[in-house]
Amino acid sequence: MTEATTPKHEAARILVEAMPYIRRYYGRTLVVKYGGNAMVDPQLQAAFAQDVVLLKLVGMNPIVVHGGGPQIDQALDRLGKKGTFIQGMRVTDKETMDVVEWVLGGEVQQDIVGLINHAGGKAVGLTGRDGGLIRARKLLMKDMKDPSITHDVGQVGEIEKIDPSVVKALQDDQFIPVISPIGFGDDNESYNINADLVAGKLAEVLKAEKLVLLTNTPGVLDKNGNLLTGLTSKRIDELFEDGTISGGMLPKISSALEAAKSGVNSVHIIDGRVPHALLLEILTDSGVGTMIRSH
């Protein structure tokens, strides 16, 4: 190993590479949707928490919105209750909603808060009820084959309004908000909301610099399985039409595109299975996923 390529020199090179990104995003808001393998693998959990704390320490304002589908399934299994899905959407009756609130707003949220605090940050958990953050209404889901038919999926909501004042207050006090995707309605009923949609809408309302969605894929892939590193709204429309983007990627990409069109500077869909994926995407030249811009 030559003097020029020692680990110390490599570490210095990486820090220098990060400098323009730190300068560019200083004081800016980053909304991160945390889900998939990154949420269940202990090493990836620890790496994610470190990433979030480091971004906060260098002057950025990360906000975490988390999912928790597998954890909800496990809790329902323990109760002997089988999950039912229509068009990929979990049917959420009253009993299931109680489990969703307990798992997302309790167990999962507090695990993430604990990880971030253990890594040296100051995280605070919120649900959509806190500070009137997420007002929602019942989702009436249209049938994919016959739009004249609507499916009742129970206490699943769509976002009516986001009031970000509680999030802004926490950010200003150097806290890292960790948000569970649970909204409340006019009748004070709770609603389970897709975490990608909550992250996207929150990024729009806060005029975030970036929306980052962690997934279990390398990013958006073409039909040959190759990573598409940069996408525009026009190209995404083409990928929808020819069926390249389908299934579980549909709500994720739709949410990403909506955010990009509504003022979020860039949206990143990255591989949460890569340790420190968040830092690699935001603070290095290489990146680890797909970036979407509105134009």
Binding-site residues from annotation for substrate: 68-69, 90, 192
Q: Name the pairing type of β-strands 210-215 and 176-180.
A: unpaired
Binding region: 68-69, 90, 192
Q: How far is CA 139 from CA 107, 113, 158, in A?
A: 25, 29, 5
Using alpha carbons, select from 138, 189, 129, 187 the residue that is nearest to residue 160.
138
Using alpha carbons, select from 234, 221, 219 the residue that is nearest to residue 269.
219
Whether 245 contacts 189, CB under 8 Å: no
Contacts of 92 (CB under 8 A, 6+ apart): 100, 153, 154, 155, 156, 192
Separation CA 81–CA 239 (nearest Å): 37
Using alpha carbons, select from 248, 277, 253, 251 the residue that is nearest to residue 267.
253
